[in-house]
A and B are shown apart, each in its own frame.
Chain A
Amino acid sequence: GAGVSQSPSNKVTEKGKDVELRCDPISGHTALYWYRQSLGQGLEFLIYFQGNSAPDKSGLPSDRFSAERTGGSVSTLTIQRTQQEDSAVYLCASSSRTGRTTEAFFGQGTRLTVV
């Protein structure tokens, strides 16, 4: 597609349930990021995929969070046993590795509400 696509755009889930958030990056982009943005807060880095390299998982807040990227394209962020503090907007971004002018393109985000 023309841009980064995220689904669903909104998700309301009950505490304790698992959720899966999907990101479809721009075709050909080798780098993919997941961020979390809580109300009124900045971007909290979660995980970074770059090509075939091992992902940088240093930002995942707990072992309830995991992410995978299949075939170097679509990525899924999974949150198990959701808690109310997981409520936030989850943003995905992708970029091309080539060149120093590389910019990241963001999706519209998934707004997750845990009730």
Chain B
Amino acid sequence: GDSVTQMEGPVTLSEEAFLTINCTYTATGYPSLFWYVQYPGEGLQLLLKATKADDKGSNKGFEATYRKETTSFHLEKGSVQVSDSAVYFCASLAGNNRKLIWGLGTSLAVNP
């Protein structure tokens, strides 16, 4: 069945460091892909998305490119800030029933 695998955390970085959080998927067909973020004490919210191969989603300095050949959607940011500390979830949406499939989440802590 469809699945999403993302790197385990926690990830701890210093401010202005480069961030990569890996996400790979398995799906029949071509799913839409999403990154959601959950800031401390807040609800889940969409960070960025991509709907077809080679699309790049971007928001708040974060980017992720839909790579069909490697079935990946890695999240990157060139220079993280303390305010980026949160849990990041990768998700895919595919299939006739259009059910969201989620990764387990990656916790990011950015130290000043």
Alpha-carbon distance between A31 and B99 when the two chains are bound, in angstroms: 9
Alpha-carbon distance between A48 and B98 when the two chains are bound, in angstroms: 10
Chain B CB count within 10 A is highest, among A43, A56, A101, for: A43
Please state if A43 and B46 are interface contacts (CB–CB under 8 Å): no
Please state if A50 and B98 are interface contacts (CB–CB under 8 Å): yes
Closest beta carbon of chain A to B9's beta carbon, Å: 10
How many residues of A are counted as interface, with CB atoms below 8 angstroms from the partner's CB atoms? 25
> With A103-B46, A109-B43 given, is the CB distance from A33 to B100 under 8 Å?
yes
Q: Is A62 positioned at the interface, with any CB of B under 8 Å from its CB?
A: no
Alpha-carbon distance between A109 and B38 when the two chains are bound, in angstroms: 12
Closest beta carbon of chain A to B59's beta carbon, Å: 12
Selected contact of B100 from candidates A97, A104, A109, CB within 8 Å: A104
Closest beta carbon of chain B to A8's beta carbon, Å: 15
Please state if B43 and A97 are interface contacts (CB–CB under 8 Å): no
How many residues of B are counted as interface, with CB atoms below 8 angstroms from the partner's CB atoms? 20
0 or 1 for each of A33-60: is its CB under 8 Å from B? (1 = yes): 1010000011101001010010010000
Alpha-carbon distance between A48 and B49 when the two chains are bound, in angstroms: 21
0 or 1 for each of B21-55: is its CB under 8 Å from A? (1 = yes): 00000000000101000000001111001011000
Q: Is B70 positioned at the interface, with any CB of A under 8 Å from its CB?
A: no
Please state if B104 and A42 are interface contacts (CB–CB under 8 Å): yes
Please state if A100 and B103 are interface contacts (CB–CB under 8 Å): no
When distances are taken between beta carbons in the complex, the residues of chain B under 8 Å from A105 are 46
0 or 1 for each of A93-115: is its CB under 8 Å from B? (1 = yes): 10101001111111111000000
B→A interface (CB under 8 Å) = 32, 34, 43-46, 49, 51-52, 89, 91, 93, 97-100, 102-105
A→B interface (CB under 8 Å) = 31, 33, 35, 41-43, 45, 48, 50, 53, 56, 91, 93, 95, 97, 100-109
Known: A93-B44, A102-B98, A103-B49. 14 other contacts (CB 8 A): A31-B98, A33-B100, A41-B105, A43-B105, A45-B102, A48-B97, A56-B99, A91-B44, A97-B98, A100-B51, A101-B32, A104-B34, A104-B100, A107-B43
| Nearest 5 A/B pairs, CB to CB | A42-B104, A106-B44, A42-B105, A100-B51, A108-B43
